């Protein structure tokens, strides 16, 4: 880079960057004053301060019109008079120069809590604004760590609402496989026994299930199919269906799958959601007993009781059941509902984050 090019960079107003810094970045001090027609005068130097504290120090000093700030070690220089101004189209790493009128750019976007309670936040420059990004847990949406994870299957987007991680324990005091209101679980929990959120339309909704074997099924809810409708009312309202109420009824099978299936042979036309040994549990299968199920969560169910030797063993079963398998805590299951991305079109200001909701979004 030539001498003139270096001077050009030195008078721009770049934005602060957080992270790993290039120590060869632009540094405005006495060594560089000879390149300026209007040289900078250092009023004072501060150590171990934040970008906001550096800006505040300048704003409280009537002689200060610009600062140098190095995010890496918190070093701040206050200057008088103002350096030549302008706006920066990009970020300069290392030391950064700010004129007094542009101190708003020193704001740390992570201070707004954009990643929620359960995530860590970092930020980087995009153009001339600071844009935050979040590091979240496995069951969280990577754009906002208090939101549940999303998955795209069959070119459709789904959001997690119910999960059981392999090896988890039944939550103390729980009596229902659908005990949690939607949104009350934190993504870092190993178990979330949540119902579907309110505000969904049955005829527009789909259910994605993914088990620990990597098998994936998608069902389309249908108000005119009595088994599909029963699963819907159970997942939304906890409507109970005892033994023999919905046996050998309408067949409701996934319309899409990735992995093994046997529901072409064993119709999924029977459903129960009822109490067994003090635990409300559910099962979708061919005959209301443990074999050849697709959805089974909570306690083993067979007719009006349970299978022999399966008392009080709680968890999910795999969605592909090639024989007579049972719910167990060592298995994993994740359930998702259809949730299009409401942030695809939004009016959030530059430097803010769009957080997708249920048929809405918020800017943080």
Give tens-digit pLDDT for 190-221: 999 999 999 999 999 999 999 999 999 999 99
CB 295 within 8 A of CB 282: yes
For residue 171, give the DSSP letter. Answer: P
Query: Is it the case that residue 147 has pLDDT exceeding 60?
Result: yes
82: nearest Cα among 40, 27, 44, 32? 40
For residue 125, the model assigns a pLDDT of 62
Q: Which helix (H) or strand (E) holds 7?
A: helix 3-10
pTM of the shown model: 0.69
CB 271 within 8 A of CB 253: no
CB 38 within 8 A of CB 84: yes
- Domains in the chain, ordered, with CATH? 3-107 (3.50.4), 140-338 (no CATH)
Per-residue tokens: 125:
């420059």
Residue holding tokens 């740390």?
108
For residue 83, give the DSSP letter. Answer: P
Per-residue tokens: 231:
């699963």
Query: Is it the case that residue 256 has pLDDT exceeding 50?
Result: yes
For residue 33, the model assigns a pLDDT of 29
Torsion from C-alpha of 167, 168, 174, 176, nearest 10 degrees: -60
- Under the banding of pLDDT at 50, 70 and 90, the label for residue 64 is confident
- Under the banding of pLDDT at 50, 70 and 90, the label for residue 126 is low
Tally: H helices and E strands in the chain:
3, 21
Q: How far is CA 139 from CA 147, 159, 187, in A?
A: 9, 10, 5
Alpha helix segments (H runs only) across 181-304 = 226-237
Give tens-digit pLDDT for 27-55: 333 333 223 344 567 888 899 988 777 87
């Amino acid at each position: 880079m030539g001498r003139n090019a270096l001077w050009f960079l030195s008078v721009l107003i770049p934005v602060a960057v957080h992270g790993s810094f290039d120590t060869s970045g632009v540094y405005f001090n006495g060594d560089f004053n000879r390149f300026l027609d209007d040289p900078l005068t250092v009023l004072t130097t501060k150590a171990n301060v934040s970008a906001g504290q550096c800006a505040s120090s300048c704003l409280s000093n009537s002689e200060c019109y610009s600062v140098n700030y190095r995010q890496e070690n918190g070093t701040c220089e206050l200057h008088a008079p103002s350096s030549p101004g302008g706006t920066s189209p990009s970020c300069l790493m290392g030391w950064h120069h700010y004129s007094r009128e542009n101190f708003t750019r020193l704001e740390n976007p992570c201070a707004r809590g954009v990643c929620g309670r359960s995530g860590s936040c970092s930020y980087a420059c995009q153009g001339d604004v600071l844009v935050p990004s979040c590091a979240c847990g496995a069951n969280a949406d990577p754009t906002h760590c208090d939101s549940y994870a999303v998955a795209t299957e069959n070119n459709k987007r789904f959001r997690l609402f119910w999960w059981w991680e392999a090896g988890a324990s039944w939550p103390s005091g729980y009596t229902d496989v659908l005990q949690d209101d939607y949104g009350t679980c934190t993504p870092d929990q190993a178990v979330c026994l949540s119902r579907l959120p309110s505000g969904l339309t049955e005829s527009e909704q789909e259910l994605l299930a993914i088990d620990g074997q990597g098998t994936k099924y998608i069902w389309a809810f249908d108000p005119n199919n009595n088994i599909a409708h029963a699963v819907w009312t159970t997942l939304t309202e906890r409507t109970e269906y005892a033994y023999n109420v919905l046996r050998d009824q309408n067949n409701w099978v996934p319309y899409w799958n990735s992995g093994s299936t046997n529901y072409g042979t064993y119709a999924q036309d029977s459903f129960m959601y009822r109490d067994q040994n003090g635990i409300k549990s559910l099962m979708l299968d061919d005959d209301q007993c443990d074999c050849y199920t697709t959805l089974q969560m909570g306690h083993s169910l067979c007719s009006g009781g349970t299978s022999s030797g399966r008392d009080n063993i709680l968890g999910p079963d795999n969605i592909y059941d090639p024989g007579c398998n049972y719910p167990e805590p060592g298995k994993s299951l994740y359930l998702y509902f259809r949730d299009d991305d409401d942030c695809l079109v939004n009016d959030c200001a530059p430097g803010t984050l769009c957080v997708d909701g249920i048929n809405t979004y918020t800017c943080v």
